Amino acid sequence: MNKKSNISLLSNYLLTAFFRYFSGIILLICLSQTFLFAVFAGDDNDTILLDQLNRPIQLDRKVERIVTIPMPAASILIGIEQGVKSLSAMHPESLTAAQRGLLYEWFPELLSLPTNVVGRGFVPNVESILKINPDLVIQWGDRGEDLIAPLEAVGLNVLAVRYGTENDTQTWLRLFGNLIGEQQRVSELIDIREVTYDRLEVLRMLPEDQKPKVLYLLRAKSGFQAAGKDTFNHYSIETAGGRNVTTEISGFKPVNTEQILAWDPDVILLNSFEKDLSPDFIIDDPLLSLTSASKDKRVYVMPIGGYRWDPPSLESPLAWLWLASLFHYESFDLDMKLETSELMMLFYGKKLEGKKAAAFFDQLSAKNATLQR
């Protein structure tokens, strides 16, 4: 593997897009096996969409007003449209992430959108949603019927989505693109994800003993909660050439200090959700300071770009590249500033400039881990 990579992700993406232009028929045949069946015409030119629970959603008018309850959905919709167009209301944590990151600076009109559409546990605030009169509500479909039934009881169209895999995330993109007529745009965004995944294959092919042991903590300050298998964080770690130490657990589970010490991770990734969480929380802990990650100062807080980089989002390809550069810093050296600038322009149509962008680049430089090599 070359120590310095001079081929940008953008170049790879353009080459792949060029190839797929000439192989479009084959691509459509492949996609039809998984998703393209999901949109078809109903009576009187209505659109019928199958959501991720395979439920038909009949839309009798153009979708122009969308309420998003899953946290990542708002930024994904903004990225597809490169603006705040269809988005009419969102989860309050979607706005929090936008304000802590770059999205609010790029799209300040976000502050005018309602966020009182959901309570704890993603329970919808039906009264507030009705006042918005949305064409569609996007809601979690894998957390119980109680999150969907109250919305449908008052006649609202609900698109149910699932969390967990990269396939789920790509399905979100296709669903959203079909909703708002941006199928070609979504195809390009999926190309970027697939090109990035392929680009990192050389790291995934390394012997297991050459891959760092990695622990991602969804919660730290409020009690340790680790990401096991069947989580998107596990997928991201594996994609970037790491080994998730928590493969014996599924989903997100509480863990204690003794278990973390037994795993002895080489790298610890801290969530972007808990405010003011820093690597020092781990490195200065009397017991966790004994882990290899603490000793080598390889503790990192997941960045927030347009959105958080730990859950699935448009920016997942950048998260994978960043993780790869941390896991394999001696052999996979990237110009993250260049990579990020190129892809943020593709994702949101915005340049990374100004003080907030500079602070974001500092995040990517591993300074947040006080790492000295």
For residue 61, the model assigns a pLDDT of 76
Backbone torsions φ then ψ of 161, nearest 5 degrees: -125, 160
Domains held by the chain: number = 2
Instruction: Give domain status of residue 308, yes or no.
Output: yes
Give yes or no: residues 125 and 249 share one domain. Answer: no
Give yes or no: residues 211 and 354 share one domain. Answer: yes
For residue 255, the model assigns a pLDDT of 97
Structure tokens at 104: 């609010």
Give yes or no: residues 291 and 343 share one domain. Answer: yes
Give yes or no: residues 71 and 118 share one domain. Answer: yes
pLDDT digits (tens, 9 = 90+) for 42-101: 445 567 889 999 999 888 778 999 999 999 999 999 999 999 999 999 999 999 999 999
Average pLDDT, the chain: 88
Give yes or no: residues 223 and 351 share one domain. Answer: yes
Give yes or no: residues 144 and 261 share one domain. Answer: no
Instruction: Give domain status of residue 191, yes or no.
Output: no
Give yes or no: residues 175 and 54 share one domain. Answer: yes
Report the alpha-carbon distance of residue 79 to residue 74 in Å, rounded. 9
Per the CB < 8 A criterion, the answer to whether 201 and 243 are in contact is no
For residue 332, the model assigns a pLDDT of 87
Cα of first residue to Cα of last residue in the chain, in angstroms, is: 21
Residue 252 lies in domain? 207-364
For residue 202, the model assigns a pLDDT of 95
For residue 36, the model assigns a pLDDT of 37
Instruction: Give domain status of residue 215, yes or no.
Output: yes
What's the CA angle centered on 33, arms 188 and 203, to 5 degrees? 55
pLDDT digits (tens, 9 = 90+) for 259-302: 999 999 999 999 999 999 999 999 999 999 999 999 999 999 99
Instruction: Give domain status of residue 76, yes or no.
Output: yes
- Residue type for 94, please? S
| Model-wide pTM > 0.85 | yes
Per the CB < 8 A criterion, the answer to whether 296 and 264 are in contact is no
Across-strand partners of 66?
87, 136
Coil vs helix vs strand at 204 = helix
Give yes or no: residues 222 and 263 share one domain. Answer: yes
Instruction: Give domain status of residue 35, yes or no.
Output: no
Give yes or no: residues 174 and 215 share one domain. Answer: no
For residue 288, give the CATH number of its domain. Answer: 3.40.50.1980
Residue segments in the chain with a per-residue pLDDT below the cut of 70: 1-46, 366-373
Per the CB < 8 A criterion, the answer to whether 356 and 102 are in contact is yes
